[in-house]
Amino acid sequence: MIARTRNQLIVLGLLWRLVLAVLPAVLAFGDRFALSPFLVTAFACAVLSGAVGVLVAGRRATGPVKLGLVVVSGIGALQGLVSGMLAAFCIWIALSVTISGFSVGSPGEILDLLRQPASFVEGAVAAIAVFVYTVALEAVLSPVVGAVICRLVRGNAFARQAAPSLR
């Protein structure tokens, strides 16, 4: 995969995940939507998971397989599954730390975080909701997302092959 394709895939993943993360955040907070440290962390987790998911799916799309609806949908579903798992894990950790009351100002309280299993369970419930939302939405939109990923990967590969080489 060439650098241009990789960069385009990363930007696609960043923007796609940010759009998917902003929608439930705006609906959940409604009128009192304000950027809190947790919300910024959640958006950062979404952006990170989107970039990784699109890169994994882009790597899968580089093969010599003929493109059909099933293959394109599979690539989009792979992107949704990978980014959903990573987003759920990141949200689980961030929410567990937030619920436990851990702060950067008192790093000695990290052991209190480990003594409160309820915060991990509450974080896990939210992470499951994030995972289900992400995978369900990506399952519906997987043909579109997969087609965009395949178009980026294969279009840049064909452009590189067709371009004259300088010697």
Which residues, at least 6 apart from 141, have a Cβ–Cβ distance to it below 8 Å? Answer: 76, 80
Contact present, 151 and 119 (Cβ < 8 Å):
no
pTM: 0.78
Within 10 angstroms of residue 163's Cβ, the number of other Cβ atoms is: 8
Query: Could you report the per-residue pLDDT of 148-162, keeping only the tens digit for each?
Result: 888 888 775 544 444
Give the residue extent of every domain in the chain: 3-157
9: burial class by Cβ within 10 Å (0-12, 13-18, 19+)? buried
Query: Could you report the per-residue pLDDT of 13-26, keeping only the tens digit for each?
Result: 888 888 888 888 77
Length of the chain: 167
Query: Could you report the per-residue pLDDT of 28-72, keeping only the tens digit for each?
Result: 777 777 777 778 888 888 889 889 988 888 888 887 767 788 888
Structural tokens at position 160:
């590189």
